Structure 1
Amino acid sequence: MNETANTTTLPEGHPVQVYFQEREIIYKLLEELADADPAEDIQKYINIFNQLDTIEKRFARKENQLFPFLEKKDWLGPSQGMWSFHDNLREQIRLIRYYIKTSNPEKISINTGFLIDGIYRLMHVEETVLFPNALELLTETDWIEMRKGEEEIGWMLPQAPAPFPSVAYVHPSEDFTIREMPFSLENTSHYDEGHMTVEQVNLLFRTMPLDLTYVDENDKVIFYNRGEERVFPRSAGIIGREVKFCHPPKSVGTVLKILDEFRKGTKSESSFWINYKERLIYIRYFAVRDADMNYKGVIEMSQDITDIKKIEGEKRLLDWE
């Protein structure tokens, strides 16, 4: 085969598609380097040269990722011939660096011409021989495995290319993938979904902008969260106390009726809203039941919704600045 690789049908992030993205960068840098005069503005020359020097990442990806896969298909030419071409260009780059260090603009210019010509010849062989044949020989599985290894080497691109294969968006409600945990499960507890340490659970409750109180099936307060700005004050003294002693006398009857209906299973939720210290407070009670629908207590949740009630329209942009 001796035709230019067709990248128009390659998906985003495919290794060959990424090589062609780099090609555009390389050609631009070669033009700029050819126009740069080290005798007139050595710093400008060095800046362009340093950017071009990142072509080493391209060489390393080919040598350590692409070539080994081609060897498995019994195509040894790239490993034997093109690798030597890489080394010749590396030597040319080292030579130019030496002349930069020794302030020899004449030698820099001469060797820059050799470097530019060499890279153009290399790119031509890549586009007309290497990539077209590689696309014929290698399978999609090969390219996927190759891309994994490329992540560690890197690219000449200003930012990492698109993932390959592309990851289609999956709504969290439809994501049933079983993944290895990317974190230690030591000292964690397993909940319906996920694992957290005691510290993480405590931080979660402390951070939530809600007042939560848990009353067990025996009408005893067993938990409340200690947030930064609670709506109603609580103290550790209520833990273990009967809930009827934790409310003002005028509201105890309502609370007990709620608990009774929840216990009987006739109701599972009750809501109230009151004005308290010039704020609108939303108070909700939820029955807690286990998998067999046995009554396990009640959650009381209070939230200041004054500012929430004022919301109108939409807000889709971050306005921190």
Structure 2
Amino acid sequence: MGKKEMIKDILERLHKGESTDKILSEYRDVLKDLTPPQIARIEQELISEGMDPDKVRKFCSVHLAIFRESIDRAEVKLPPWHPINILLKEHKYITDLVRNLRPEVVGNLKATESHYLREENVLFPYLEKHGIVQPPKIMWAEHDEIRKVEKDLRDKFTEELKTRLNDLLLNHFYKENNILFPTGLDVIPDDEWLSIRTEFDEIGYFAFTPEGPPEKEKVETKIATRMINLPTGSLTEKELEAFLNALPVDITFVDSKDEVRYFSESKDRIFVRTRAVIGRKVQQCHPQKSVHIVNRILDDLI
């Protein structure tokens, strides 16, 4: 039985209520060398083959307990400016914030939104470009679950909700720290992390201002000066960009293949957009729960 078949068997048995201890004793030796990228790719294959993503997500925490021995590894040493290092530090900050949460400071949770936005609008698109599509969808669904509990806490603070949020975050961060992030480090080339950091900076931070990359490593954006010829005149690329960005609306252009081809960068933007989404399917720019609405809008435009 291959590793994918083993994981599928584990999930099916968990779904039937079988003891995790029994499954662990059976599969420990076989799965001890399973790497985070392998786990991510196998989960992706299972979903692509028709397994319910919510089923994988629902039992992800349980099978993490089974795989904990194989994915608890020494921390990777990353430079302070590195996007993954920033996310890891924020995980610790958010965990401490929730652990010590009180009714009078529950509003501070709103500031953590930039953490999730950076993952959804920068890290996830880069993972998708390198073939890791399904795991980010699972993580985004968990982000929305976290957001819902945070909203409930702001509406009415209870210790039960606080505990619920704390448990959600611990499980979610464990999966990101030990599966998603190592997978990203494995599949995303070193030079692309500089671009990711640039786009992280555009969204901003909430807990601290991260150290920047060395000057020689900063990504420079070159603005072309060639002319764009139109039936009623011509503009340079720089002039056209300034014109579109000055309009009092957010513009996102999606082509006939449902891929994002352009977005404006007006001063007062409604939606977070980063250059990482260029070429991304517009459906992947939204959480799974709202994809049917996106598709309905696209269908209405045909």
Q: TM-score scaled to structure 2, two decimals?
A: 0.46
Higher strand fraction: Structure 1 or Structure 2? Answer: 1
CA radius of gyration, larger in = 1
Q: TM-score scaled to structure 1, two decimals?
A: 0.44
Higher helix fraction: Structure 1 or Structure 2? Answer: 2
